[in-house]
Structure 1
Amino acid sequence: MSGRTGGTEAGRFHAWRAAIRIARRDAWRYKGRSALVLSMIALPIVGVSAADISIRSSELTKPQQITREMGAADARLTSGGMGHRALLQSPVDGASMPADQKSGDDGPVSAAGIAADQVDPRVALPPGAHWISDQSAYARVRTPSGLLDTWVREMKADDPIAVGMLTLDRGRFPRSGNEMIATRAFLKSSGLHVGSLVRTRGFDRTYRIVGAYELPDALDTEQLTALPGSFIAAYATAMKAARGSYDGGGGPPSYLVSVPGVFSWPMVEHANSLGVIVDSRAVLLHPPADEDVPFYRAAGRTGGGVQSSTSKATALAVPATVGGLAILEVCLLAGPAFAVGARRSRRQLGLIGANGGDRRHIRAVVLSGGLVIGVVAAVVGTVLGLVLTALLRGVLEDYVGKRFGGLTVRPLELLAIAGLAVLTGLLAAVVPAVNASRQSVLSSLTGRRGVRRAGRLMPVIGLAAVCLGAGLAVVGAARSDSVVVVGAGSALAELGVVALTPLLVGAFGRLGRWLPTAPRLALRDAVRNRGRTAPAVAAVLAAVAGTVAVATFAASQDRQDRDAYQARAPRGVYAVSSGSEQGRELGAVRAAVEKHFPVSGRVDVSRLVYGPKTCDLHSDGAGCGGFQLRVPPANVCPAERTTDPSQLSLAVRRSLASDWRCAGSYVQPAMDTEDGVTVGGPAVLHALGIRDGAAERALARGETVLFDRRYVDHGTIAFGLIPDMSKATLGDDTVAGPLTRVPVHVAAEKVPYGLVVVMPEKAAVAAGFRTVPLGSYFTTSRMPSGAQQQALAADLAQFGSDAQAHLEKGYESKASLVLLALSIFAGLVTVGAAGIATGLAQADAEPDLKTLAAIGAAPGVRRRLSGFQCGLIAAMGVLLGSVAGVLPAVGLRRAQLRQDWKAYHSAVDGGWGAAERAPHVPVVVPWPTLALLLVAVPLGAMLLAAAVTRSRPQVTRRAEG
Structure 2
Amino acid sequence: MTGFTPLLRLAWRDLWRNKGRSLVVFLMILLPVLGVSAASTVIATASVTGSERVVGDMGTADIVLGFNGNNDNTVHAVDVLPKMEGQVRAALGAGTATALRAHGTLRASTDKGATRVDAYEADLANPLLTGTYRLVSGHLPRVAGQVAVNGWLADRGPGVGETLEVRGGSSLRVVGIVEDPFEKDSGRAWGRPGELIPDRRAPGSVGDVTVFAKAAGALDLRRLADLGKDGYYPTTRDQDVANYSGGRGLNGPDLAVFVLVVVMALTEVALLAGPAFAVSARRRQRELALLSANGGTPRQVRAAVLTTAFVIGGLAAAVGAAGGVLVGWLVSPVAEQFGSTWFGPRDWSPLQVAGVALFGLVSAVLAALVPSWLASRQDVVRVLAGRRGDPAPARFSPLLGIVLMVIGGLLTFVGLVGASSYGEIWIGFGAVTTVLGAVALMPLILRLLARSTGRAPLAVRYALRDGLRHRTRTVPAIGAVMATVAGVVALGIANASQEAAGEKTYEPRLPMGHAEVNVWSDYGATDDVAKQWTAVVPVLKRLAPDAVVVRGMADEGGQSIMLRGGGDDLYGDFSGPFNNGVAVASKVPAVDFGLSQSEVEQADAVLARGGAVVMGRQAGGLSHLTLVRYVDDSADAQDADGMKEAQRLRVPAVAFAVKGRPLATAIVADRAAERLGARVSVAGALINRTVSTAEAKTLEEAVLDVADGGDVYVERGWQPDPEYALMMLVLMVVGALLMVGGTVTATVLALADAGPDLGTLSAVGAAPRTSRAVAMGIAFVIGGVGAVLGVVVGAVPGIAVTWPMTSHAYYYGGSSGSAHTIDIPWLLLAEVAVGVPVLLALVVGLCARSRLPLVARID
Q: TM-score, normalised by structure 2?
A: 0.86
- 1:138 alignment counterpart: 105
From 525, 545, 551, the counterpart of 1:606: 551
2:512 to 571, 574, 577: 571
- Written as runs of structure 1 = structure 2, the 5 A alignment for 1:405-804 is 405-408=345-348, 410=350, 413-450=352-389, 455-483=394-422, 484-509=425-450, 512=453, 516-519=457-460, 521-576=462-517, 579-580=529-530, 584-585=534-535, 588-594=538-544, 603-608=548-553, 619-620=557-558, 626=559, 628-631=561-564, 635=568, 666-669=573-576, 671-679=577-585, 681-682=587-588, 684=590, 687-691=592-596, 693-694=598-599, 696-702=601-607, 704-709=612-617, 715-722=623-630, 732=641, 735-749=644-658, 752-761=661-670, 774-780=683-689, 782-786=690-694, 788-793=695-700, 796=703
Q: Which whole-Å CA distance do the structure 1 matches of 2:682 and 2:180 have between them? A: 44
Contact 2:48 2:343 in 1 (8 A): no
Q: Which residue of 2 aligns with 1:97?
A: none
Q: What's the secondary structure of 1:170's corresponding residue?
A: strand
Q: CA deviation at 1:220?
A: 4.4
Contact 1:124–1:276 (CA under 8 A) maintained in structure 2: no
Deviation sequence 1:848-867 (CA, Å, 0-9, x none)? 22333334434343234324
The 1:531–1:678 alpha-carbon spacing in structure 2 relative to 1, beyond 3 Å, is farther
> Which shifted more, 433-442 or 697-706?
697-706
- The aligned counterpart of 2:802 is 893
Q: Secondary structure at the match of 2:320?
A: helix
Distance in structure 2 (CA, Å) of the matches to 1:167 and 1:322: 36
Letter in 2 for 1:892: V
Using the TM superposition, name which of 320-329 and 33-42 deviates more: 320-329
Alpha-carbon distance in structure 2 between the residues aligned to 1:724 and 1:319: 56
**Cα contact 2:615–2:662 (8 A) shared by 1:** no
Tell me, yes or no, if the aligned pair for 2:616 and 2:661 is still in contact at 8 Å.
no
Q: Does 1:206 align with 2:196?
A: no
1:247-286 matches, cutoff 5 A = 247-248=204-205, 251-281=207-237, 284=240
Equivalent position to 2:822, from 905, 920, 923: 923
Measure the CA separation in 2 of the matches of 1:872 and 1:116: 80
Return the letter of the residue paired with 1:134. Answer: R
Aligned position for 2:124? 157
Q: Cα–Cα, structure 1 residues 629 and 230, in superposed 2: closer, same or farther, change >3 Å?
A: same
* Structure 2, unaligned runs of 5 or more: 520-528
Q: Which amino acid in structure 2 is aligned with residue 340 of structure 1?
A: V
**2:749 aligned with 1:810:** no
Decide whether aligned partners of structure 1 residues 630 and 799 sit closer, same or farther in structure 2, where only a CA change above 3 A counts: closer
* Aligned residue in 2 for 1:938: 837
Q: 1:805 to 1:679 in 2, by over 3 A?
A: farther
- Match 2:286 to one of 337, 342, 347: 347
Counterpart of 1:752, as a letter, is: R
Residue equivalent to 1:12: 2
Which whole-Å deviations, capped at 9, do the CAs of 1:796-841 have from their partners, x for residues lacking one?
5676697764332322234655544333222111111222222222
Please list, as runs of the form range in 1=range in 2, the aligned pairs for 1:114-193 lying within 5 A after superposition: 117=75, 120=80, 121-122=84-85, 123-125=87-89, 126-127=92-93, 128-188=95-155, 190-193=156-159
Maintained 8 Å contact 2:549/2:684: yes
| Pairs aligned (count) | 829
Which residue is equivalent to 2:31? 43
State whether structure 2 residue 828 is matched by structure 1 residue 828.
no
Q: Measured at CA, do residues 607 and 816 of structure 1 come closer, stay the same or move farther in structure 2, by a change above 3 Å?
A: same
Which consecutive unaligned segments of at least 5 residues does structure 1 have? 1-10, 82-111, 241-245, 288-302, 610-616, 621-625, 637-660
Q: Deviations over 1:67-101 (max 9, x none)?
A: 121111111111266xxxxxxxxxxxxxxxxxxxx
User: What whole-Å deviation, never above 9, does each CA across 1:240-282 have from its counterpart, x for those lacking one?
Assistant: 6xxxxx424x622111112212434324444323332111125
2:498 and 2:805 in contact (8 A); partners too: no
Distance 1:284 1:824, change over 3 A: closer
Q: Distance in 1 between matches of 2:73 and 2:846?
A: 71
Counterpart CA distance in 2 for 1:734 and 1:791 is 41
- 1:537·1:876 contact (CA, 8 Å) conserved in 2? yes
Counterpart-to-counterpart distance in 2, 1:730 and 1:171: 60
- CA separation in 2, counterparts of 1:746 and 1:435? 80
Give distance in 1, aligned partners of 2:745 and 2:531. Answer: 73
State how far apart, in whole Å, the 2-side matches of 1:812 and 1:806 are: 14
Change (3 A) 1:496 1:738: same
Q: Give CA deviations for 1:356-411 in whole Å, capped at 9, x if unaligned.
A: 3332332222222222222222223223223322332322444563344334462x
Aligned 8 A contact 1:665 1:751 in 2: no
Match of 2:523 in 1: none
Indicate if the aligned counterparts of 1:124 and 1:270 stay in contact, CA closer than 8 A.
Answer: no
Deviations for 1:278-329, whole angstroms, at most 9, x for unmatched residues?
Answer: 11125557x8xxxxxxxxxxxxxxx9x999xxx9855754455445444433
Equivalent residues in 2 for 1:192-341, closer than 5 Å: 192-203=158-169, 205-232=170-197, 234-236=198-200, 246-248=203-205, 251-281=207-237, 284=240, 313-314=252-253, 317-341=256-280
Distance 1:163 1:581, change over 3 A: closer
Cα distance in 1 between the residues matched to 2:100 and 2:452:
77
Instruction: Encode CA deviations 1:409-437: one digit per residue, 9 max, x unaligned.
Output: 62x55444333333222222222122112
1:707–1:750: 8 Å Cα contact kept in structure 2? Answer: no
1:278–1:511 distance in 2 versus 1, CA, 3 Å: farther
Question: Which segment is superposed worse, 170-179 or 142-151?
Answer: 142-151
Could you tell me whether the CA contact under 8 Å between 2:302 and 2:375 is conserved in 1? yes
In 2, are the aligned partners of 1:45 and 1:381 still within 8 Å (CA)?
Answer: yes
Contact 2:553 2:561 (8 Å CA) reproduced: no
TM norm structure 1: 0.77
The residue aligned with 1:839 is: 748
How far apart, CA to CA, are the structure 2 residues paired with 1:477 and 1:47? 29
- 2: distance between equivalents of 1:29 and 1:501? 33
CA contact (8 A) 1:178 1:207 kept: yes
Q: Give per-residue Cα distances to partners, 1:423-459, cap 9 Å, x unaligned.
A: 2222222221221121211221233234776554322
RMSD, matched Cα = 3.8
**Alignment CA distance shift 1:589-1:450 (3 Å):** same
Distance in 2 (alpha carbons) for counterparts of 1:582 and 1:539:
65
Q: What is the distance in 1 between the residues matched to 2:212 and 2:764?
A: 86
The alpha-carbon deviation at position 918 of structure 1 amounts to 4.5
Note closer, same or farther for the CA distance 1:183–1:39 as it changes in structure 2 (3 Å cut): same
Counterpart check, 1:866 vs 2:767: no
> What whole-Å deviation, never above 9, does each CA across 1:493-519 have from its counterpart, x for those lacking one?
222222222333344446746755545
Q: Residue 110 of structure 2 aligns to which amino acid in structure 1? A: T
Distance apart, 1:165 and its partner CA: 1.9
C-alpha displacement at 1:930, in angstroms? 2.9
